[in-house]
Homo-oligomer: A and B are copies of this chain.
Amino acid sequence: MVEKLDRLKAILSEVADLKNAQALLVWDQETYMPPGGAAGRGYQVGTLAKIAHEKFTSDEVGQLLDDLEPMTSQLPSDADDACLIKITCRDYRKSKRVPSIWVEEDTRVTSNAYSVWEIAKASSNFAMFQPELEKIVALRRQYADFFKPYAHVYDPLLDNFEPGLKTAEVEQIFNKLRPQQVALIHAIAEKTGPDNSFLKASYPERAQLDFGREVITRFGFDWQRGREDISVHPFTTSFNTGDVRITTRINQNQLETGIFGTMHEAGHGMYEQGIAPALERTPLSGVPSLAIHESQSRLWENLVGRSRPFWMYFYPRLQQLFPGQLGNVSLDAFYRGINRVQPGLIRVEADEATYNLHIMLRLELEIALMEGSLEVKDLPDAWNERMGEFLGLTPPDDARGVLQDVHWSSGHFGYFSTYALGNLVSAQIWEALHADIPDLEKGIIRGDFQPLLTWLREKIHRHGSKFEPQDLIRKVTGTDITPEPYLRYLTTKYSEIYHL
Protein backbone atom coordinates (compact mmCIF):
# COMPACT_ATOMS: atom_id res chain seq x y z
CA MET A 1 0.00 0.00 0.00
CA VAL A 2 2.81 2.39 0.88
CA GLU A 3 4.40 1.67 -2.48
CA LYS A 4 1.15 2.36 -4.27
CA LEU A 5 0.69 5.59 -2.37
CA ASP A 6 4.24 6.64 -3.26
CA ARG A 7 3.63 5.84 -6.89
CA LEU A 8 0.42 7.87 -6.87
CA LYS A 9 2.23 10.78 -5.28
CA ALA A 10 5.00 10.57 -7.88
CA ILE A 11 2.49 10.89 -10.71
CA LEU A 12 0.55 13.63 -8.96
CA SER A 13 3.71 15.64 -8.37
CA GLU A 14 4.46 15.58 -12.11
CA VAL A 15 0.93 16.72 -12.80
CA ALA A 16 1.39 19.51 -10.25
CA ASP A 17 4.66 20.56 -11.91
CA LEU A 18 2.95 20.74 -15.30
CA LYS A 19 0.09 22.80 -13.91
CA ASN A 20 2.44 25.12 -12.07
CA ALA A 21 4.51 25.60 -15.23
CA GLN A 22 1.32 26.33 -17.13
CA ALA A 23 0.39 28.92 -14.50
CA LEU A 24 3.70 30.68 -15.10
CA LEU A 25 3.04 30.73 -18.84
CA VAL A 26 -0.30 32.39 -18.18
CA TRP A 27 1.17 34.85 -15.68
CA ASP A 28 3.77 35.82 -18.26
CA GLN A 29 1.14 36.20 -20.95
CA GLU A 30 -0.70 38.71 -18.78
CA THR A 31 2.33 40.66 -17.61
CA TYR A 32 5.38 40.63 -19.88
CA MET A 33 4.80 38.66 -23.10
CA PRO A 34 5.25 40.69 -26.32
CA PRO A 35 2.27 40.60 -28.72
CA GLY A 36 4.08 38.32 -31.19
CA GLY A 37 4.26 35.56 -28.61
CA ALA A 38 0.51 34.94 -28.40
CA ALA A 39 0.15 32.18 -31.00
CA GLY A 40 3.12 30.19 -29.76
CA ARG A 41 2.02 30.61 -26.16
CA GLY A 42 -1.36 29.17 -27.05
CA TYR A 43 0.33 25.99 -28.29
CA GLN A 44 2.57 25.75 -25.25
CA VAL A 45 -0.24 26.16 -22.74
CA GLY A 46 -2.36 23.72 -24.73
CA THR A 47 0.33 21.07 -24.77
CA LEU A 48 1.05 21.34 -21.05
CA ALA A 49 -2.65 21.18 -20.22
CA LYS A 50 -3.11 18.16 -22.44
CA ILE A 51 -0.18 16.24 -21.00
CA ALA A 52 -1.24 17.06 -17.42
CA HIS A 53 -4.73 15.87 -18.19
CA GLU A 54 -3.47 12.67 -19.84
CA LYS A 55 -1.21 11.88 -16.93
CA PHE A 56 -3.88 12.61 -14.33
CA THR A 57 -6.57 10.59 -16.07
CA SER A 58 -4.35 7.62 -16.93
CA ASP A 59 -5.64 4.13 -16.19
CA GLU A 60 -2.74 3.68 -13.81
CA VAL A 61 -4.00 6.53 -11.62
CA GLY A 62 -7.49 5.02 -11.73
CA GLN A 63 -6.19 1.64 -10.62
CA LEU A 64 -4.06 3.14 -7.84
CA LEU A 65 -7.04 5.09 -6.54
CA ASP A 66 -9.27 2.02 -6.61
CA ASP A 67 -6.64 0.13 -4.62
CA LEU A 68 -5.99 2.95 -2.18
CA GLU A 69 -9.52 4.17 -1.51
CA PRO A 70 -10.30 1.50 1.12
CA MET A 71 -7.19 2.62 3.03
CA THR A 72 -8.77 5.95 3.92
CA SER A 73 -11.15 4.31 6.39
CA GLN A 74 -8.12 3.24 8.46
CA LEU A 75 -6.77 6.79 8.67
CA PRO A 76 -8.03 9.79 10.67
CA SER A 77 -10.39 11.63 8.34
CA ASP A 78 -8.23 14.76 8.42
CA ALA A 79 -4.94 12.94 7.79
CA ASP A 80 -3.10 14.37 4.74
CA ASP A 81 -3.01 10.99 3.00
CA ALA A 82 -6.71 10.29 3.61
CA CYS A 83 -7.66 13.69 2.22
CA LEU A 84 -5.27 13.27 -0.69
CA ILE A 85 -6.91 10.02 -1.75
CA LYS A 86 -10.46 11.33 -1.24
CA ILE A 87 -9.98 14.60 -3.09
CA THR A 88 -7.97 12.94 -5.86
CA CYS A 89 -10.73 10.35 -6.35
CA ARG A 90 -13.26 13.15 -6.66
CA ASP A 91 -11.16 15.08 -9.19
CA TYR A 92 -10.14 11.98 -11.10
CA ARG A 93 -13.69 10.84 -11.63
CA LYS A 94 -14.57 14.30 -12.81
CA SER A 95 -11.58 14.70 -15.13
CA LYS A 96 -12.07 11.23 -16.53
CA ARG A 97 -15.29 12.41 -18.12
CA VAL A 98 -13.46 15.11 -20.09
CA PRO A 99 -11.47 13.91 -23.14
CA SER A 100 -7.89 15.21 -23.42
CA ILE A 101 -8.64 16.44 -26.90
CA TRP A 102 -11.33 18.75 -25.47
CA VAL A 103 -8.92 20.10 -22.86
CA GLU A 104 -6.28 20.79 -25.46
CA GLU A 105 -8.65 22.53 -27.82
CA ASP A 106 -10.22 24.53 -25.03
CA THR A 107 -6.87 25.67 -23.70
CA ARG A 108 -5.75 26.76 -27.16
CA VAL A 109 -9.03 28.54 -27.90
CA THR A 110 -9.08 30.40 -24.59
CA SER A 111 -5.40 31.32 -24.79
CA ASN A 112 -6.02 32.92 -28.17
CA ALA A 113 -9.34 34.42 -27.07
CA TYR A 114 -7.59 36.17 -24.21
CA SER A 115 -5.31 37.99 -26.65
CA VAL A 116 -8.24 38.90 -28.88
CA TRP A 117 -10.22 40.14 -25.87
CA GLU A 118 -7.36 42.41 -24.82
CA ILE A 119 -7.44 44.15 -28.22
CA ALA A 120 -11.25 44.09 -28.46
CA LYS A 121 -11.54 45.70 -25.04
CA ALA A 122 -8.94 48.35 -25.87
CA SER A 123 -10.88 49.28 -29.00
CA SER A 124 -14.31 48.59 -27.47
CA ASN A 125 -15.08 46.23 -30.33
CA PHE A 126 -17.40 43.40 -29.28
CA ALA A 127 -17.76 42.16 -32.87
CA MET A 128 -14.07 41.30 -32.86
CA PHE A 129 -14.47 39.19 -29.71
CA GLN A 130 -17.80 37.61 -30.66
CA PRO A 131 -16.49 34.65 -32.73
CA GLU A 132 -14.06 33.75 -29.96
CA LEU A 133 -16.79 33.86 -27.35
CA GLU A 134 -19.05 31.76 -29.53
CA LYS A 135 -16.37 29.07 -29.64
CA ILE A 136 -15.99 29.31 -25.89
CA VAL A 137 -19.74 28.97 -25.22
CA ALA A 138 -19.98 26.02 -27.62
CA LEU A 139 -17.09 24.35 -25.81
CA ARG A 140 -18.80 24.96 -22.44
CA ARG A 141 -22.01 23.30 -23.69
CA GLN A 142 -19.96 20.33 -24.87
CA TYR A 143 -18.35 20.27 -21.46
CA ALA A 144 -21.66 20.19 -19.62
CA ASP A 145 -22.75 17.29 -21.82
CA PHE A 146 -19.89 15.19 -20.49
CA PHE A 147 -21.68 15.32 -17.10
CA LYS A 148 -25.14 14.27 -18.17
CA PRO A 149 -27.46 13.70 -16.45
CA TYR A 150 -27.36 16.96 -14.50
CA ALA A 151 -30.04 18.86 -12.60
CA HIS A 152 -29.08 22.01 -14.48
CA VAL A 153 -26.81 22.57 -17.52
CA TYR A 154 -24.91 25.18 -15.48
CA ASP A 155 -24.12 22.78 -12.60
CA PRO A 156 -20.99 21.20 -14.15
CA LEU A 157 -19.50 24.66 -14.77
CA LEU A 158 -20.24 25.92 -11.27
CA ASP A 159 -18.72 22.77 -9.82
CA ASN A 160 -15.33 23.72 -11.29
CA PHE A 161 -15.16 26.78 -9.09
CA GLU A 162 -17.36 25.80 -6.14
CA PRO A 163 -17.21 22.01 -5.87
CA GLY A 164 -20.38 20.48 -4.54
CA LEU A 165 -22.58 23.58 -4.83
CA LYS A 166 -25.56 23.47 -7.22
CA THR A 167 -27.09 26.20 -9.38
CA ALA A 168 -30.37 25.87 -7.48
CA GLU A 169 -28.60 26.52 -4.16
CA VAL A 170 -26.90 29.64 -5.48
CA GLU A 171 -30.19 30.91 -6.84
CA GLN A 172 -31.77 30.29 -3.46
CA ILE A 173 -29.04 32.21 -1.62
CA PHE A 174 -29.22 35.06 -4.12
CA ASN A 175 -33.00 35.19 -3.92
CA LYS A 176 -32.73 35.71 -0.18
CA LEU A 177 -29.96 38.28 -0.55
CA ARG A 178 -31.25 40.35 -3.42
CA PRO A 179 -34.38 42.03 -1.97
CA GLN A 180 -32.58 43.08 1.19
CA GLN A 181 -29.54 44.33 -0.70
CA VAL A 182 -31.76 46.30 -3.07
CA ALA A 183 -33.74 47.73 -0.13
CA LEU A 184 -30.49 48.88 1.45
CA ILE A 185 -29.37 50.57 -1.79
CA HIS A 186 -32.72 52.32 -2.04
CA ALA A 187 -32.52 53.54 1.55
CA ILE A 188 -29.04 54.86 0.86
CA ALA A 189 -30.12 56.52 -2.39
CA GLU A 190 -32.50 58.73 -0.43
CA LYS A 191 -29.62 60.24 1.52
CA THR A 192 -26.97 62.67 0.35
CA GLY A 193 -23.76 60.75 -0.17
CA PRO A 194 -20.46 61.81 1.35
CA ASP A 195 -18.01 63.73 -0.82
CA ASN A 196 -15.35 61.55 -2.44
CA SER A 197 -14.03 63.94 -5.08
CA PHE A 198 -10.62 63.92 -3.39
CA LEU A 199 -10.13 60.36 -4.67
CA LYS A 200 -9.99 61.78 -8.20
CA ALA A 201 -7.08 64.13 -7.53
CA SER A 202 -3.78 63.28 -9.21
CA TYR A 203 -1.87 60.63 -7.26
CA PRO A 204 1.52 59.76 -8.76
CA GLU A 205 1.63 56.07 -9.66
CA ARG A 206 4.92 55.23 -8.00
CA ALA A 207 3.77 56.55 -4.62
CA GLN A 208 0.48 54.66 -4.89
CA LEU A 209 2.35 51.46 -5.65
CA ASP A 210 4.69 52.03 -2.72
CA PHE A 211 1.80 52.67 -0.34
CA GLY A 212 0.05 49.50 -1.43
CA ARG A 213 3.23 47.52 -0.84
CA GLU A 214 3.69 49.07 2.58
CA VAL A 215 0.16 48.05 3.54
CA ILE A 216 0.39 44.45 2.40
CA THR A 217 3.84 44.06 3.91
CA ARG A 218 2.24 45.05 7.21
CA PHE A 219 -0.57 42.55 6.58
CA GLY A 220 2.05 39.83 6.29
CA PHE A 221 2.54 39.29 2.54
CA ASP A 222 5.93 37.57 2.25
CA TRP A 223 8.11 39.13 -0.46
CA GLN A 224 10.70 36.38 -0.22
CA ARG A 225 7.96 34.10 -1.47
CA GLY A 226 6.10 36.43 -3.77
CA ARG A 227 6.12 39.45 -6.01
CA GLU A 228 3.79 42.05 -7.46
CA ASP A 229 3.53 43.21 -11.06
CA ILE A 230 1.25 45.34 -13.17
CA SER A 231 -1.41 43.81 -15.44
CA VAL A 232 -4.57 44.86 -17.25
CA HIS A 233 -6.75 42.73 -14.98
CA PRO A 234 -5.31 42.16 -11.49
CA PHE A 235 -4.96 38.54 -10.44
CA THR A 236 -3.12 36.17 -8.14
CA THR A 237 -1.30 33.03 -9.19
CA SER A 238 0.96 30.57 -7.48
CA PHE A 239 3.62 28.15 -8.72
CA ASN A 240 4.22 26.73 -5.24
CA THR A 241 3.91 28.16 -1.72
CA GLY A 242 7.36 29.69 -2.19
CA ASP A 243 6.36 31.67 -5.28
CA VAL A 244 2.99 33.41 -5.10
CA ARG A 245 2.48 36.35 -7.42
CA ILE A 246 -0.07 39.10 -7.37
CA THR A 247 -0.67 41.83 -9.92
CA THR A 248 -2.29 45.19 -9.56
CA ARG A 249 -3.20 48.18 -11.67
CA ILE A 250 -2.83 51.82 -10.77
CA ASN A 251 -5.03 54.64 -11.97
CA GLN A 252 -3.47 58.04 -11.40
CA ASN A 253 -6.83 59.74 -10.97
CA GLN A 254 -8.61 57.04 -9.03
CA LEU A 255 -6.87 56.37 -5.77
CA GLU A 256 -9.12 53.50 -4.72
CA THR A 257 -8.34 51.29 -7.75
CA GLY A 258 -4.76 50.54 -6.80
CA ILE A 259 -5.07 50.55 -3.03
CA PHE A 260 -8.06 48.26 -2.67
CA GLY A 261 -7.03 46.12 -5.63
CA THR A 262 -3.66 45.51 -4.03
CA MET A 263 -5.19 44.56 -0.68
CA HIS A 264 -7.64 42.28 -2.48
CA GLU A 265 -4.95 40.37 -4.35
CA ALA A 266 -2.74 40.25 -1.26
CA GLY A 267 -5.63 38.54 0.52
CA HIS A 268 -5.55 35.85 -2.15
CA GLY A 269 -1.77 35.77 -2.07
CA MET A 270 -1.41 35.37 1.68
CA TYR A 271 -3.88 32.47 1.51
CA GLU A 272 -1.68 30.68 -1.04
CA GLN A 273 1.46 31.49 0.93
CA GLY A 274 -0.15 29.97 4.02
CA ILE A 275 -0.82 26.51 2.59
CA ALA A 276 1.18 23.85 4.44
CA PRO A 277 4.44 23.05 2.59
CA ALA A 278 3.75 19.36 3.27
CA LEU A 279 0.95 19.54 0.69
CA GLU A 280 3.28 20.88 -2.03
CA ARG A 281 3.14 19.17 -5.43
CA THR A 282 -0.14 17.42 -4.59
CA PRO A 283 -3.72 18.26 -5.58
CA LEU A 284 -4.18 19.50 -1.98
CA SER A 285 -1.77 22.41 -2.45
CA GLY A 286 -4.50 24.71 -3.64
CA VAL A 287 -7.70 26.20 -2.33
CA PRO A 288 -10.94 24.23 -1.84
CA SER A 289 -13.12 26.66 -3.80
CA LEU A 290 -13.18 30.13 -5.23
CA ALA A 291 -15.78 31.41 -2.77
CA ILE A 292 -13.38 30.56 0.03
CA HIS A 293 -10.51 32.12 -1.92
CA GLU A 294 -12.62 35.23 -2.45
CA SER A 295 -13.65 35.32 1.20
CA GLN A 296 -9.99 35.94 2.01
CA SER A 297 -9.43 38.67 -0.57
CA ARG A 298 -12.70 40.39 0.38
CA LEU A 299 -11.93 40.16 4.06
CA TRP A 300 -8.63 42.02 3.65
CA GLU A 301 -9.96 44.44 1.05
CA ASN A 302 -13.28 45.33 2.67
CA LEU A 303 -13.75 44.17 6.24
CA VAL A 304 -10.21 45.27 7.05
CA GLY A 305 -9.26 47.70 4.27
CA ARG A 306 -12.45 49.77 4.16
CA SER A 307 -12.85 49.87 7.92
CA ARG A 308 -12.34 52.82 10.24
CA PRO A 309 -9.79 51.02 12.48
CA PHE A 310 -7.58 50.26 9.47
CA TRP A 311 -7.48 53.90 8.39
CA MET A 312 -6.95 55.10 11.95
CA TYR A 313 -3.58 53.40 11.61
CA PHE A 314 -2.79 54.01 7.92
CA TYR A 315 -4.40 57.34 7.09
CA PRO A 316 -1.64 59.52 8.59
CA ARG A 317 0.86 57.68 6.40
CA LEU A 318 -1.29 58.19 3.32
CA GLN A 319 -1.62 61.89 4.13
CA GLN A 320 2.15 62.09 4.52
CA LEU A 321 2.60 60.63 1.02
CA PHE A 322 -0.03 62.89 -0.54
CA PRO A 323 -0.11 66.07 1.53
CA GLY A 324 -1.40 68.24 -1.30
CA GLN A 325 -4.24 65.90 -2.15
CA LEU A 326 -5.31 64.78 1.36
CA GLY A 327 -3.85 67.29 3.80
CA ASN A 328 -7.23 68.95 4.23
CA VAL A 329 -9.32 65.79 4.20
CA SER A 330 -10.06 64.52 7.71
CA LEU A 331 -9.91 60.85 8.62
CA ASP A 332 -13.67 60.82 9.02
CA ALA A 333 -14.23 62.44 5.62
CA PHE A 334 -11.79 60.01 4.02
CA TYR A 335 -13.47 56.99 5.62
CA ARG A 336 -16.90 58.12 4.48
CA GLY A 337 -15.59 59.00 1.02
CA ILE A 338 -14.11 55.59 0.32
CA ASN A 339 -17.38 54.03 1.44
CA ARG A 340 -19.64 56.17 -0.69
CA VAL A 341 -22.31 54.10 -2.41
CA GLN A 342 -22.54 54.96 -6.06
CA PRO A 343 -23.91 52.60 -8.70
CA GLY A 344 -21.24 52.31 -11.38
CA LEU A 345 -20.53 50.47 -14.61
CA ILE A 346 -17.40 48.61 -13.55
CA ARG A 347 -17.64 45.58 -11.30
CA VAL A 348 -14.13 45.75 -9.88
CA GLU A 349 -14.68 49.36 -8.84
CA ALA A 350 -18.10 48.75 -7.28
CA ASP A 351 -18.77 49.59 -3.65
CA GLU A 352 -19.81 46.91 -1.21
CA ALA A 353 -23.51 47.76 -1.43
CA THR A 354 -23.85 47.39 -5.19
CA TYR A 355 -21.15 44.82 -5.94
CA ASN A 356 -23.34 41.75 -5.66
CA LEU A 357 -25.77 43.14 -8.26
CA HIS A 358 -22.96 43.10 -10.84
CA ILE A 359 -22.58 39.41 -10.05
CA MET A 360 -26.28 38.61 -10.30
CA LEU A 361 -26.33 40.26 -13.73
CA ARG A 362 -23.48 38.08 -14.96
CA LEU A 363 -24.92 34.91 -13.45
CA GLU A 364 -28.23 35.46 -15.27
CA LEU A 365 -26.44 36.00 -18.58
CA GLU A 366 -24.20 32.97 -18.18
CA ILE A 367 -27.16 30.76 -17.35
CA ALA A 368 -29.09 32.13 -20.33
CA LEU A 369 -26.14 31.49 -22.68
CA MET A 370 -25.84 27.95 -21.38
CA GLU A 371 -29.56 27.29 -21.55
CA GLY A 372 -29.53 28.62 -25.11
CA SER A 373 -32.13 31.31 -24.43
CA LEU A 374 -29.53 33.96 -25.25
CA GLU A 375 -27.14 34.06 -28.20
CA VAL A 376 -23.65 35.51 -28.01
CA LYS A 377 -24.43 38.12 -30.65
CA ASP A 378 -27.26 39.46 -28.45
CA LEU A 379 -25.09 39.61 -25.37
CA PRO A 380 -24.19 43.33 -25.45
CA ASP A 381 -27.87 44.30 -25.65
CA ALA A 382 -28.82 41.89 -22.89
CA TRP A 383 -26.00 43.26 -20.76
CA ASN A 384 -26.97 46.87 -21.27
CA GLU A 385 -30.63 46.17 -20.65
CA ARG A 386 -29.92 44.51 -17.29
CA MET A 387 -27.45 47.22 -16.34
CA GLY A 388 -30.33 49.66 -16.72
CA GLU A 389 -32.67 47.48 -14.69
CA PHE A 390 -30.25 46.59 -11.88
CA LEU A 391 -28.28 49.78 -11.47
CA GLY A 392 -30.06 52.38 -13.57
CA LEU A 393 -27.08 52.87 -15.86
CA THR A 394 -26.32 52.57 -19.59
CA PRO A 395 -22.77 51.66 -20.61
CA PRO A 396 -21.48 54.21 -23.16
CA ASP A 397 -19.46 51.47 -24.89
CA ASP A 398 -18.76 47.75 -24.62
CA ALA A 399 -15.36 48.31 -23.03
CA ARG A 400 -17.23 49.62 -20.00
CA GLY A 401 -19.95 47.02 -20.50
CA VAL A 402 -19.85 43.46 -21.67
CA LEU A 403 -16.11 43.47 -22.48
CA GLN A 404 -14.95 44.67 -19.06
CA ASP A 405 -14.11 41.32 -17.45
CA VAL A 406 -11.38 38.90 -18.45
CA HIS A 407 -13.29 35.80 -17.30
CA TRP A 408 -15.26 34.85 -20.36
CA SER A 409 -12.21 35.20 -22.62
CA SER A 410 -10.50 32.65 -20.38
CA GLY A 411 -13.48 30.34 -20.49
CA HIS A 412 -14.29 30.89 -16.82
CA PHE A 413 -18.03 30.38 -16.94
CA GLY A 414 -19.32 29.57 -13.45
CA TYR A 415 -16.79 31.78 -11.79
CA PHE A 416 -18.65 35.02 -11.13
CA SER A 417 -21.11 33.87 -8.49
CA THR A 418 -18.19 32.86 -6.27
CA TYR A 419 -17.38 36.56 -5.90
CA ALA A 420 -20.74 37.24 -4.27
CA LEU A 421 -20.59 34.03 -2.28
CA GLY A 422 -17.10 35.06 -1.16
CA ASN A 423 -18.54 38.31 0.16
CA LEU A 424 -21.06 36.36 2.21
CA VAL A 425 -18.46 33.95 3.54
CA SER A 426 -16.07 36.79 4.43
CA ALA A 427 -18.72 38.23 6.76
CA GLN A 428 -19.43 34.80 8.24
CA ILE A 429 -15.71 34.42 8.95
CA TRP A 430 -15.53 37.95 10.35
CA GLU A 431 -18.19 37.08 12.95
CA ALA A 432 -16.36 33.87 13.86
CA LEU A 433 -13.11 35.85 14.15
CA HIS A 434 -14.69 38.31 16.55
CA ALA A 435 -16.00 35.54 18.73
CA ASP A 436 -12.43 34.20 19.09
CA ILE A 437 -10.54 37.54 19.17
CA PRO A 438 -12.77 40.11 20.86
CA ASP A 439 -10.21 42.93 20.59
CA LEU A 440 -9.41 42.36 16.92
CA GLU A 441 -10.16 46.00 16.05
CA LYS A 442 -7.89 47.30 18.79
CA GLY A 443 -5.00 45.44 17.15
CA ILE A 444 -5.86 46.83 13.73
CA ILE A 445 -5.86 50.38 15.12
CA ARG A 446 -2.27 49.72 16.23
CA GLY A 447 -1.36 48.25 12.82
CA ASP A 448 -1.13 44.77 14.29
CA PHE A 449 -2.55 42.24 11.83
CA GLN A 450 -0.68 39.29 13.25
CA PRO A 451 -3.56 37.79 15.31
CA LEU A 452 -5.87 38.04 12.31
CA LEU A 453 -3.46 36.38 9.89
CA THR A 454 -2.53 33.72 12.44
CA TRP A 455 -6.20 32.82 12.96
CA LEU A 456 -6.82 32.59 9.21
CA ARG A 457 -3.66 30.54 8.72
CA GLU A 458 -4.68 28.12 11.46
CA LYS A 459 -8.36 27.77 10.58
CA ILE A 460 -8.24 27.99 6.80
CA HIS A 461 -4.97 28.57 4.93
CA ARG A 462 -2.81 25.70 6.11
CA HIS A 463 -5.39 23.09 5.12
CA GLY A 464 -5.04 23.85 1.41
CA SER A 465 -7.78 21.96 -0.36
CA LYS A 466 -7.84 19.01 2.04
CA PHE A 467 -11.53 19.49 2.83
CA GLU A 468 -14.68 19.83 0.76
CA PRO A 469 -15.43 23.56 0.61
CA GLN A 470 -18.91 23.42 2.11
CA ASP A 471 -17.51 21.28 4.95
CA LEU A 472 -14.73 23.75 5.63
CA ILE A 473 -17.16 26.68 5.65
CA ARG A 474 -19.35 24.86 8.17
CA LYS A 475 -16.32 23.94 10.27
CA VAL A 476 -15.01 27.52 10.40
CA THR A 477 -18.27 29.49 10.61
CA GLY A 478 -20.74 27.00 12.04
CA THR A 479 -23.20 27.24 9.12
CA ASP A 480 -23.63 26.80 5.38
CA ILE A 481 -23.16 29.83 3.12
CA THR A 482 -25.78 32.29 4.26
CA PRO A 483 -26.42 35.99 3.56
CA GLU A 484 -27.36 37.14 7.08
CA PRO A 485 -23.91 38.04 8.46
CA TYR A 486 -23.09 40.00 5.31
CA LEU A 487 -26.39 41.86 5.45
CA ARG A 488 -25.82 42.59 9.16
CA TYR A 489 -22.35 43.90 8.33
CA LEU A 490 -23.56 46.13 5.48
CA THR A 491 -26.51 47.45 7.45
CA THR A 492 -24.44 48.36 10.49
CA LYS A 493 -21.74 50.00 8.39
CA TYR A 494 -23.99 52.04 6.14
CA SER A 495 -26.43 52.98 8.89
CA GLU A 496 -23.57 54.75 10.59
CA ILE A 497 -22.19 56.38 7.42
CA TYR A 498 -25.54 57.34 5.94
CA HIS A 499 -27.47 57.88 9.17
CA LEU A 500 -30.15 55.42 7.99
Please determine whether B239 and A35 come into contact, CB atoms closer than 8 angstroms. Answer: no
Please determine whether B225 and A37 come into contact, CB atoms closer than 8 angstroms. Answer: yes
Please determine whether A37 and B243 come into contact, CB atoms closer than 8 angstroms. Answer: yes
Q: How far is the CB of A14 from chain B (nearest CB, A)?
A: 5
Interface of A is mostly: helix
Residues A197-229 near B (CB distance < 8 A): 222-227, 229
* Cα A229 to Cα B229 with chains together (Å): 14
A40 contacts B by Cβ under 8 Å: yes
Please determine whether A48 and B13 come into contact, CB atoms closer than 8 angstroms. Answer: no
A22 contacts which chain B residues (CB < 8 A)? 21
- CB contact under 8 A between A20 and B40, given known A14-B47, A47-B14, A51-B51: yes
A225 contacts which chain B residues (CB < 8 A)? 34-37
Q: How many copies of the chain does the oligomer comprise? A: 2
Please determine whether A33 and B243 come into contact, CB atoms closer than 8 angstroms. Answer: yes
A24 contacts B by Cβ under 8 Å: yes
A34 contacts which chain B residues (CB < 8 A)? 223-227, 242-243
A226 contacts which chain B residues (CB < 8 A)? 34, 36
Please determine whether B41 and A243 come into contact, CB atoms closer than 8 angstroms. Answer: yes
Residues A43-82 near B (CB distance < 8 A): 43-44, 46-48, 51
Interface string of A15-46 (1 = CB under 8 A from B): 00110111011001000111111111101101
* Cα A131 to Cα B41 with chains together (Å): 37
Residues A235-253 near B (CB distance < 8 A): 239-243
Give the residue among A13, A34, A39, A280 with the most B Cβ atoms within 10 A: A34
How many residues from A make CB contacts under 8 Å with B?
Answer: 40
Please determine whether B40 and A243 come into contact, CB atoms closer than 8 angstroms. Answer: yes
Please determine whether B41 and A239 come into contact, CB atoms closer than 8 angstroms. Answer: yes
Give the residue among A37, A43, A48, A51 with the most B Cβ atoms within 10 A: A37
* Cα A480 to Cα B229 with chains together (Å): 48
Question: Nearest residue in B to A37 (C-beta to C-beta)?
Answer: B243
A281 contacts B by Cβ under 8 Å: yes
Question: Nearest residue in B to A32 (C-beta to C-beta)?
Answer: B227
Question: Nearest residue in B to A281 (C-beta to C-beta)?
Answer: B43
Question: Nearest residue in B to A50 (C-beta to C-beta)?
Answer: B14
Please determine whether B28 and A44 come into contact, CB atoms closer than 8 angstroms. Answer: no
Question: Nearest residue in B to A31 (C-beta to C-beta)?
Answer: B32
Please determine whether B242 and A48 come into contact, CB atoms closer than 8 angstroms. Answer: no
A24 contacts which chain B residues (CB < 8 A)? 24-25, 28, 44
List the 3 closest pairs (A to B, CB-CB), nearest first: A37-B243, A40-B240, A36-B242
